[in-house]
Amino acid sequence: MVEAARRKLNESAGMRWFALILISTLLFSTYWFQDCLGPLKGLMESELGLNSDQFGRIASSTTWANLALMIIVGGIALDKWGIRKTGTLFGILAVAGAAIVALAAKGVFGSDERSTMIWMIVGRILFGTGLETVCVMVSRTVVKWFKGYELALAMGINVGFGRLGSAGTNFFGIEIANNSVFTGVSFAATLIGLSLICFLVYLILDVKFDKAAGIQAGEGDGDKFKFKDLTDLITNHSFIFIALLCVAFYSAVFPFVQYAPDLLINKFGFTSTLPDMTGWSFAAKFKAFFHNGPKVTSLIPLGTILFTPIFGRLVDKKGKAATLMIIGSLLLIFAHLSLSVFNNVILGYFGLFALGIAFSLVPAAMWPSVAKIVPENRLGTAYATMFTIQNYGLAAFFWGIGKVLNMVNPAVVNQIRETRESLIASGMSMNEVPVRIEELKLAGEIPPYNYTMPILMLVVLGIISIFLAFQLKRADKRQGYGLEMPTGHEG
């Protein structure tokens, strides 16, 4: 009877997709903020004096609270309290954390490098606490509305919103910043505030959904959480393999995207900003665009906006989810080899394209598969557990790439620091310093960073991803969840 009542509401395609759009704006804005520092890495070094190691710590700090199991706490809260209370609380945390990062970039808490870094870390920790639980909540909400319908397609589109945020910050971030880290970060923080308003609008639909389903106000979508639910998850072989695959795959992608603009600038001589192209021919504009680090990086998540729903639809219709995860992992290895070992720019473009396909293929197959392995009323805890494990990998590689980059390029680090100090001592303004350092880099007076070793580390993660995807496929044959079957035809 409850299920029949529930279908009366979400059997409307228009209602389902409208709810998806409202909830997915949170993913768009949080991913924009999460990746907004990537295009600004050079600017943070020249304007704020933060080197690659410090940049890595700031980027990594988004994950720190979640290493202490905060996402699992959020997932349990989601299963116990429901979407409305949990989403509002953790959405506010994300907004507050983003605001602190912006204020730190402005120098409100101190203008020295140490104070700036510490307060940026504080803000990113708070933001990260909200971010990951919001991601779990959004995934849980998509299942709530689309299970039994176009679930893989809906999840693919939902992921596409997040990728659009990543693409937007890489494409427009440096121009929005206009030589000011504060301007770029505060814009990203504002987007989270606006998306939280969209979430509050969505809650009207959520109330109607729960009334139709017979769920009392303030209740979650299932029974109260029991510790056994967590132990059942972590002793399920299929869940273990898909969770470990999640951490290996995303650790090879998300940290890379943060460093990719700087990599392309240093490895292939790309520019950080576009010049004034008034009067330029189309061919010249095209060449300038594809020789710009942040703009080219934006194509990685931008491509996923198209391909993830396509692959999601493929999983709905044909299945083969575990097989597609194997293919995506192979593409990941090719991508990072082409960008680490080789110095051919054409091969680099192919590597970025392969990474974009992998970045679409694996999530489109992975996230709907979790809904096959785990009962719906424990998906909050399941997704939270996966995000928690994932954060250990992200923390290691966000920071690790920056740390290794500093270790293998000590001369570059010292020269940039000394040049910055000299320019400031000469009376140059903080807005002029980044411009001058950029000119010195383009003139070859400041040597480029060597990114070979940091990116080569990610190849190992691709190899691990393939192994785990094969193990997942074998486990599914034993346990019979139907990961290779189309949606609605599971064993």
User: For position 226, what pLDDT does the model report?
Assistant: 59
Which of 132, 436, 58, 394 has the alpha carbon at shortest distance from 249?
A: 394
Please give the helix or strand (H or E) that residue 476 lies within, else none: helix 452-479
Supply the pLDDT for residue 243.
Answer: 92
Burial of 488 (0-12, 13-18, 19+ CB in 10 A): exposed
Query: What's the farthest any 2 CA atoms get from each other in the chain?
Result: 77
Contact 171, 38 (CB under 8 A): no
DSSP state of 82: -
CATH class belonging to 2-409+449-479: mainly alpha
Q: Which element (helix H / strand E) includes 203?
A: helix 181-213
pLDDT score for 71: 67
Nearest to 132 by CA among 64, 195, 218, 41: 64
Q: Which residues of the chain have pLDDT under 70?
A: 1-10, 68-72, 75, 79, 213-230, 377, 380, 487-491
CB 421, CB 474: distance < 8 Å:
no
pLDDT of residue 5: 43
Per-residue pLDDT of 211-251, as tens digits, reads: 776 655 544 444 455 566 667 777 888 999 999 999 999 99
Total residues belonging to the chain:
491
b (16+ CB within 10 A) / e for 334-370? bbbbbbbeeeeeeebbebbbbbbbbbbbbbbbbbbbb
Contact yes or no for 119/57 (Cβ under 8 A): no
User: CA angle at residue 92 from 87 to 98, to 5 degrees?
Assistant: 125
The pTM of this model reads: 0.74
182 with 395: CB under 8 angstroms?
no
Domain ranges for the chain: 2-409+449-479
Where does 107-178 have alpha helices with state H?
113-146, 151-177
The pLDDT of residue 191 is 95
Q: Which residues contact 466 (CB under 8 A, 6 or more apart)?
A: 326, 329, 330, 333
**What residue spans of 48-112 are helical by DSSP H?**
52-60, 64-67, 70-81, 83-106
Distance (Å, rounded) from C-alpha 64 to C-alpha 450?
28
Contacts 24+ apart (CB under 8 A), 18-22: 18/205, 19/141, 19/145, 19/202, 19/205, 19/206, 20/142, 20/145, 20/146, 20/154, 20/157, 20/158, 22/198, 22/199, 22/201, 22/202, 22/205
